Amino acid sequence: MTDDQFRAETRAWLEANCPPSMREPVRSDKDATWGGRNPVYTHPDQKVWLDRMAARGWTVPDWPRQYGGGGLSAAETKILREEMARITARNPLNSFGISMLGPALLKYGTEEQKLEHLPRIARGEIRWCQGYSEPGAGSDLAGLQTSAEDKGDHFLVNGQKVWTSYADQADWIFCLVRTDKSVKQAGISFLLFDMASEGVSTRPILLISGSSPFCETFFDNVKVPKANLVGELNKGWDVAKFLLGHEREMISGFGLGGAGADPLVEAARNGVDPILRAQIALFEVRSKAFAAMSEKFIDELKAGRAHPAQPSMMKYYGTELNKARHELLMAAGGSDALEWESERSSAGAAPRA
């Protein structure tokens, strides 16, 4: 099939299968589709859209078919992304499994691990969280102390993680553990385990915004089968860094905003003052330039030609754009946007964000 034929077929399929409600912007975190064992849908079309996309492997279009992917080429994946953007289709599935763990498993996982985990990630059946940071190991991540003791057929995990996004809603965790105390980076291993395992508990951290996206996560004598080690023992730092490159790429995408009509453009059209309009226009130009740069970087990443610093640049600039977007949204909302609980401010959506 030529790329033009693929585009025509994709366009027709999306037109027929993407429900109109899934072409609307995601208004809040709860509005997004996260999947998992106990999925929460604010609209029934979220499930319809997820299932239709997953059935084609299009939640992970460029993963191989045997792992639940679409088996698309880089060019086809890009066409799919463009055609989804054309109709402002929502991402069918938000998933740390897709954006972080999946690429790491594809590179470092055994065949058994790939077959066990990747298809369930692709279908949105298992929700993952990331157990990296600890109270004494954030920027200095390699200082982590959570230990995994070799007990013959299993590891015994003890310790604490912090800032674990959505740990209280996650089904499984990918976790950095210390398997050798005598060396720093070279004593870390990468483990996968079920959050329902005995000895795992979570405590949400309440933020000033009123929401609790983060948790403290505790491990008290958690038994983890040896087969759940990804990569070699004490070589987890390599897996961790590779995964972080993908996390940075994912975070940089926040700079591009979500699907659907851009509320900033709407604000500018609705006649805010000329200075703010000019600032919004400048922001939109930067945002378009960033999108073009990201496109180029992602092409290079997929082709294995990217400089390792590129995802860091993308994350940094994407984060700056995201901050600017929120500041402009606050400015465009005027004093109404400061209201924390009113209907006029959509329950304080802008200041809380």
Ligand X SMILES: Cc1cc2nc3c(=O)[nH]c(=O)nc-3n(C[C@H](O)[C@H](O)[C@H](O)COP(=O)(O)OP(=O)(O)OC[C@H]3O[C@@H](n4cnc5c(N)ncnc54)[C@H](O)[C@@H]3O)c2cc1C
Of residues 71 and 204, the one with the C-beta less far from ligand X: 204
Q: Taking the complex as a whole, how short is the minimal distance between the CB of residue 163 and ligand X, in angstroms?
A: 4
Task: Name residues whose C-beta falls within 8 Å of residue 271's C-beta, 6 or more positions apart in sequence.
Answer: none
Q: Taking the complex as a whole, how short is the minimal distance between the CB of residue 140 and ligand X, in angstroms?
A: 6
- CA 2 to mean position of chain CA atoms: 31
Q: Taking the complex as a whole, how short is the minimal distance between the CB of residue 174 and ligand X, in angstroms?
A: 10
Q: Taking the complex as a whole, how short is the minimal distance between the CB of residue 320 and ligand X, in angstroms?
A: 14
Q: How many CB atoms lie within 10 A of CB 45?
A: 17
Helix extents (H) in the chain:
3-17, 44-55, 74-86, 96, 102-108, 111-122, 236-252, 263-269, 274-302, 310-333, 349-352
Q: Taking the complex as a whole, how short is the minimal distance between the CB of residue 338 and ligand X, in angstroms?
A: 23
With tokens 């900033």, the residue in question is 264
Write the burial class of residue 233 (CB in 10 Å: 0-12 exposed, 13-18 middle, 19+ buried): middle
Q: Is 206 an interacting residue with respect to ligand X (CB under 6 A)?
A: no
Beta bridge mates, 200: 219
Q: Taking the complex as a whole, how short is the minimal distance between the CB of residue 139 and ligand X, in angstroms?
A: 3
CB 39 within 8 A of CB 32: no
Angle at 75 between CA 13 and CA 70, to 5 degrees: 55
Of residues 95 and 279, the one with the C-beta less far from ligand X: 95
Task: Name residues whose C-beta falls within 8 Å of residue 155's C-beta, 6 or more positions apart in sequence.
Answer: 148, 149, 177, 179, 191, 223, 224, 226, 229
Q: Is 312 an interacting residue with respect to ligand X (CB under 6 A)?
A: no
Of residues 44 and 138, the one with the C-beta less far from ligand X: 138
Q: Is 160 an interacting residue with respect to ligand X (CB under 6 A)?
A: no
State the DSSP string of 322-347: HHHHHHHHHHHHGGGGG-SS-TTTTT
Of residues 10 and 217, the one with the C-beta less far from ligand X: 217
Q: Is 139 an interacting residue with respect to ligand X (CB under 6 A)?
A: yes
As a whole number of angstroms, the distance between CA 49 and CA 39 comes to 14
Q: Is 133 an interacting residue with respect to ligand X (CB under 6 A)?
A: yes
Of residues 84 and 239, the one with the C-beta less far from ligand X: 239
> Which residue stretch of 149-157, 161-169, 193-201, 337-345 sits at the interface with ligand X (rule: CB under 6 A)?
161-169
Report the number of secondary-structure helices (H) and strands (E) in the chain: 11, 8
Q: Is 138 an interacting residue with respect to ligand X (CB under 6 A)?
A: yes
Q: Is 165 an interacting residue with respect to ligand X (CB under 6 A)?
A: yes
Which of these is catalytic: 76, 83, 134, 247? Answer: 247
Q: Is 163 an interacting residue with respect to ligand X (CB under 6 A)?
A: yes
> Which residue stretch of 11-19, 44-52, 99-107, 162-170 sits at the interface with ligand X (rule: CB under 6 A)?
162-170
Which residue, 222, 269, 251, 228, is CA-closest to 321? Answer: 251
Q: Is residue 247 annotated as part of the catalytic site, yes or no?
A: yes
> Which residue stretch of 27-35, 84-92, 133-141, 202-210 sits at the interface with ligand X (rule: CB under 6 A)?
133-141
> Which residue stretch of 69-77, 85-93, 123-131, 228-236 sits at the interface with ligand X (rule: CB under 6 A)?
123-131
Q: Is 132 an interacting residue with respect to ligand X (CB under 6 A)?
A: yes
As a whole number of angstroms, the distance between CA 244 and CA 253 comes to 14
As a whole number of angstroms, the distance between CA 139 and CA 40 comes to 33
Q: Which two tokens stand for residue 267?
A: 């604000």
Q: Taking the complex as a whole, how short is the minimal distance between the CB of residue 290 and ligand X, in angstroms?
A: 19
Of residues 6 and 317, the one with the C-beta less far from ligand X: 317
Q: Is 164 an interacting residue with respect to ligand X (CB under 6 A)?
A: yes
> Which residue stretch of 16-24, 159-167, 260-268, 327-335 sits at the interface with ligand X (rule: CB under 6 A)?
159-167
Q: Is 143 an interacting residue with respect to ligand X (CB under 6 A)?
A: no
Active site residues: 247
Contact footprint for ligand X (CB under 6 A): 129-133, 138-139, 161, 163-165
